[in-house]
Amino acid sequence: MTGTSTDVRTTTTERAGADEPGRDAPVLEVRGLKVVYDTASGPVTAVDGVDLTVNPGEFVAVVGESGCGKSTMLFGVAQLLSPPARIAGGEVVFRGQSLVAMNDKQLAPIRWKNLSVVMQSAMNALNPVKRIGDQYADTMRAHGVKEKAEITKRSEEVLALVGIDRIHLRSYPHQLSGGMRQRAMIAMALLFAPELIIMDEPTSALDVVAQRSLMLQIKELQRLLGFAVLFVTHDMSLVSHFSDRLLVMYAGQEVEFGATRTVFDRPAHPYSKGLLEAFPSIRGPKVPLVGIPGAPPALNAMPPGCRYEPRCPFAYEDCKTVVPALYQVGGSRARCLLHSPDHQPPAGQPVVAVVTDEEVL
Amino acid sequence: MSTPILEARGLTRVFRVGGFLNRHDLHAVDDASFAIGGSEILALVGESGSGKSTIARLLAQVYTPSAGEILFEGTPLTKLRSRADQMRYRAAVPMVFQDPFSSLNQSYPVSHGIERGLKLHRSDLDAEGRRSEAERVMEAVGMRPASEALRKYPYELSGGQRQRVGFAQALAYKPKVILADEPVSMLDISVRIGLLNLMAKLRDEDHVSLLYITHDIASARYIADRMMVMYAGHVVESGPVDEVLQSPQHPYTQLLVAAVPDPRAMPTMTAEQAAGEPPKVIDPKPGCRFADRCPLAKEVCRTTTPPLLELQPRHEVACHVAADRVGRGAESEELGRAADLVGSAA
């Protein structure tokens, strides 16, 4: 394994030196990305003005509940949206090029070579009637690698990187376990040593042990090959020790973005705080937890002020009417009026509402 | 100890797999023995394919055991022959399913499912009685105002609310033990805790026991009293939840505990430990099924199935090495060998 990995590392560094506009320029820059779904009753905004940067070799995690727009955002970044979803505004700049303005023909050489995607369910993302090796070969041929020996060599290399024996190039997806399929997908994403790999909940179908092992492996590959990762998950605890920065999304918006450790230790937004407090721990004293009462708002019926206000234990009068901007809090930014100088809660103290454990209809 | 409500003795379920010429036996659950007492939550944890759901389905009589028996309040289920007895058992041991989006009938309001169950299982009630009973259980699961909640259709409810309705349906039968198969794994983190608190409340206030099947160990610790760990169809460890988590004796439990993501503490699992996959239990040979992944495995582990032994009070472990640690290695090997002989004869 060590022999092959050194080869790959050299290719990456060569490329990084030759192609990139600047050594420290972000590999991905998303500015004000807005994605809408066209429905019979008019457009519905699923992603509302997300700003995000990913630096070379960085691991950025995006967390949020189902329906918060995290996967839609990811698809928007990868230019994989199909009607009724469309990008209604904003910029996606990858290696200095704007992806939003490109058509499929212009995107094709970038896809998989520079930017690859690992989908949530490898079971559905791999072709069930084709051998793993054939699927790798397809991908490589599509990008102009015709030499059979070269295809085999590279396929074996990437499979070795994720710790799968090369005999599985002859296997069909159903012959591999869930964890192996997911690793085979990641190996496929590594065929061309891309600068950025987008991962949409790659571990959520796996067991804790397999999950942890896959995360360790992704991290190790990242150290070895130097690619950046944009990782979407609903499980905040999963990325707590793996991501460099963390973006928390709620109701289509970015509510907090900062260094992972900072967000975990001192969450600036009540929603991040609520999410963190909803995790029971397997160590330390047992404390009663409450979770977050209520449910996220429907996309077509957003609260006029802060979108989290109806569920927020810290909410006060201003939150109902004033739309919060993103405020700088230490090194992070948070979309909460508590951090705004102009809309402080009455008497200087936030009112903490009593949180009950019931569903109010 | 008084008679447990549900007890399994040597519970085994074998599925026939393969075609005509290459028929094999898949041992989904092998020789599992456990008991669920009154007002307690037993968490059943393990990875997918370890046999957790098969156990729930055996208890719910969806499957019949290939060997072993299930006792309900001391009576073997095979003795419950009459329809009345069967109905009584099914009402006493209802099931709550994983997916709240497909387990409710979309075409009817919530009241329909609850009242239908009541009609079947509580024939003493008239329409008025059923209505007030339905309201009682809806309030018990924290859906208020109950009369309004009962009129809602499933599509009007969030995932957390639907799962509460699932518990309300089960509760309407005045159950003794609710079999909850991954009841919160489809829900978002923020509403999960509410459901877990509800399960704890059902135990504490309504004195219902629960078999809580999950792969989420942290949530098991949060509500369960005891915990049972399964690996490849075998029960490998069981005991009071804190004891199992604080001093796990079986190497697999140790691996599982080390793998749990916890934002408050650094993970302790290394890549080497995680290597390997649980075996497919097809035509199994005697021996510990974790032996191939186990750092402590000895020769005997590959030849003799370790029996579940009570190594500390109420804390059972199926591991030759752990038994050896407390000076009971020889006993473990002997018992295991005897059980393997019986197994191969059967």
Q: What is the pLDDT of residues B177-222, one digit of tens each?
A: 999 998 888 788 878 888 899 999 999 999 999 999 998 888 999 9
Q: Which residue has the tokens 């009129």?
A: B151
DSSP B243-259: HHHHS--SHHHHHHHHH
Report the pLDDT value the prediction gives residue B271, as an integer from 0 to 100. Answer: 61
Distance CA B241, CA B315 (A): 10
Q: Give start and end residues of each alpha helix (H) in B152-250.
A: 159-172, 189-204, 217-223, 241-246
Max alpha carbon distance in chain B (Å)? 67
Domain segments of chain A as ranges: 2-249, 266-348
Q: With contact defined as beta carbons under 8 Å apart, do B96 and B167 qualify? A: yes
Using DSSP's 3-state secondary structure scheme, residue A82 falls into: coil
Summarised one tens digit per residue, pLDDT across range A95-109 is 888 888 888 888 888
A194: left (phi over 0), alpha (psi -120 to 50) or beta: beta
pTM over 0.90: no
Distance CA B283, CA A120 (A): 33
User: 10-residue block means of pLDDT along chain A (361 residues)?
Assistant: 40 40 76 91 88 92 87 89 88 89 87 87 80 91 88 90 85 82 88 90 79 85 90 86 92 92 88 87 82 81 89 86 87 87 69 48 49
Report the pLDDT value the prediction gives residue B35, as an integer from 0 to 100. Answer: 94
Report the pLDDT value the prediction gives residue A18, as an integer from 0 to 100. Answer: 40
| Residue A216 forms contact with B (CB below 8 Å) | yes
Report the pLDDT value the prediction gives residue A313, as an integer from 0 to 100. Answer: 85
Residue of B nearest to A66 (CA): B188
Residue of A nearest to B161 (CA): A359
Low-confidence ranges of chain B (pLDDT < 70): 1, 264-278, 280, 345-346
- Residues A317-320: contacts with CB within 8 Å, 24+ apart? A317/A346, A318/A343, A318/A345
Distance CA A190, CA A198 (A): 11
Residue of A nearest to B152 (CA): A361
Report the pLDDT value the prediction gives residue A355, as an integer from 0 to 100. Answer: 45
| Residue A21 forms contact with B (CB below 8 Å) | no
Distance CA B345, CA A341 (A): 79
Task: State the nearest Cα–Cα gap between A34 and chain B, in angstroms.
Answer: 24
CB contact under 8 A, B259 and A211: yes
* Alpha-carbon separation of residue A321 from A112, A299, A309, A315, A316 (angstroms): 45, 18, 10, 11, 10
CATH superfamily of A2-249: P-loop containing nucleotide triphosphate hydrolases (3.40.50.300)
Residues 83-142 of A with CB under 8 A from B: none
CATH class of B6-94+175-345: alpha beta
Alpha-carbon dihedral sign for residues B141, B145, B151, B156: negative
Distance CA B70, CA B58 (A): 9
Distance CA B134, CA B112 (A): 10
Distance CA A162, CA A182 (A): 10
**B219, B263, B267 ranked by CB distance to A264: nearest:** B263
Q: How far is CA A41 from the centre of its chain?
A: 30
Q: How far is CA B139 from the centre of its chain?
A: 26
Q: With contact defined as beta carbons under 8 Å apart, do B3 and B73 qualify? A: yes
Chain A positions in Cβ-Cβ contact with residue B274 (cut-off 8 Å): 209-210, 212-213, 216
Mutate: best of B264, B270, B281, partner A, most A CBs <10 A: B264
Q: Which residue has the tokens 């609710």?
A: B178
Report the pLDDT value the prediction gives residue B161, as an integer from 0 to 100. Answer: 87
